[in-house]
Amino acid sequence: MMSGIHHPRLLFAFLLTLTGGVAAAVPGPGGGLTLPEIACPPGGTPEGEPCDESGQGTINGGCNTRPAFFMDVACGQTLCGEAWALGGSRDTDNFLMQVSGVSAASVTLTTEFPAVVFGINTGRGIDCGTSYVLDQIEVPAGGTGAMTLSFPIVDDDVLWWFVGASIFDGLPCGSAGEFGNGYVVTWSCAAATCPEAGDVNDDGTVDFEDLLVVLANVGPCP
């Protein structure tokens, strides 16, 4: 689906925020406290992968499967999924977002279990050997976390988002104890703005640095 071309980026600006706090626990059927179930909001897309501790039914295991499987997502999309973690293994859900004309991409995760989100650089293609994590957030069970990646972006770049449990045990399918299996993830993008007139070096600001570029190039045209 994607070529293996890798375009490393050297200039990245990251804004990480943890928002929304943690949901209050409620009495469970056995008298203990459990976190409330997260409902899939209207318009949310089901992940479509059944909770399966064998890992045989994965449709978005990413580079943990051979061949690698990813699910395509888009700016403005909300997806409702499930994950498990048991006996030292965990479910990993991997999503690809092809972007054009944007200056920043954000992900917001609400989860019933302790979770982690990675934003991964791929350039214009997936290479499991050279793609690398740009940044990450951990989100507590019952909490909401958000991450924004802003960088010099090229049209048709591909972002790789990883969502999974931050634990490797204690989260079987059909969990009825301390944690649930569900999560809701939403992606949003900020539109790129046209450069200002006079921004010769394309850094987003018209200043003395632009004048230096002009002065350094005064003279006859080559």
For the stretch 41-87, pLDDT in tens is 999 999 999 898 887 778 899 888 888 889 999 999 999 999 999 99
- Res 206: pLDDT: 75
pLDDT at 195 over 50: yes
Q: Are residues 114 and 216 in the same domain?
A: no
Q: Is residue 181 part of a domain?
A: yes
Q: Are residues 109 and 140 in the same domain?
A: yes
Q: What is the mean pLDDT of the chain?
A: 78
Q: Are residues 187 and 204 in the same domain?
A: no
Which carries the bigger pLDDT value, residue 154 or residue 24? 154
Q: Are residues 113 and 207 in the same domain?
A: no
Q: Once rounded to an integer, what is the mean pLDDT over residues 88-95? A: 94
User: Which token pair is 70?
Assistant: 């990813």
- Res 44: pLDDT: 96
CA–CA separation, 109 and 144 (whole Å): 5
Q: Is residue 123 part of a domain?
A: yes
Q: Are residues 80 and 111 in the same domain?
A: yes
Q: Is residue 204 part of a domain?
A: yes
Q: Are residues 102 and 173 in the same domain?
A: yes
Q: Are residues 52 and 125 in the same domain?
A: yes
Q: Is residue 4 part of a domain?
A: no
Q: Is residue 120 part of a domain?
A: yes
Closest-CA residue to 108 (of 30, 174, 189, 181): 189
Q: Tell me the CATH number at 41.
A: 2.60.120.380
Place of tokens 């204690």: 170
pLDDT digits (tens, 9 = 90+) for 3-13: 222 322 222 33
Q: Are residues 166 and 136 in the same domain?
A: yes
Q: Which residues contact 169 (CB under 8 A, 6 or more apart)?
A: 85, 86, 87, 88
Question: Are 114 and 141 within 8 A, CB to CB?
Answer: yes
CA–CA separation, 222 and 209 (whole Å): 22
Which carries the bigger pLDDT value, residue 107 or residue 130? 107
Split into its structural domains, the chain has a count of 2
Distance, CA of 22 to chain centre: 20
Q: Say what the alpha-carbon torsion angle 196, 200, 201, 202 is, to the nearest 10 degrees.
A: 20
- Res 30: pLDDT: 41
Q: Are residues 209 and 158 in the same domain?
A: no
Q: Is residue 3 part of a domain?
A: no
Q: Hey, CA dihedral for 32, 27, 140, 170, is it positive or negative?
A: positive
Q: Are residues 130 and 208 in the same domain?
A: no
pLDDT at 139 over 70: yes
Q: Name the residue range of residue 216's domain.
A: 196-222
Q: Is residue 118 part of a domain?
A: yes
Q: Is residue 5 part of a domain?
A: no
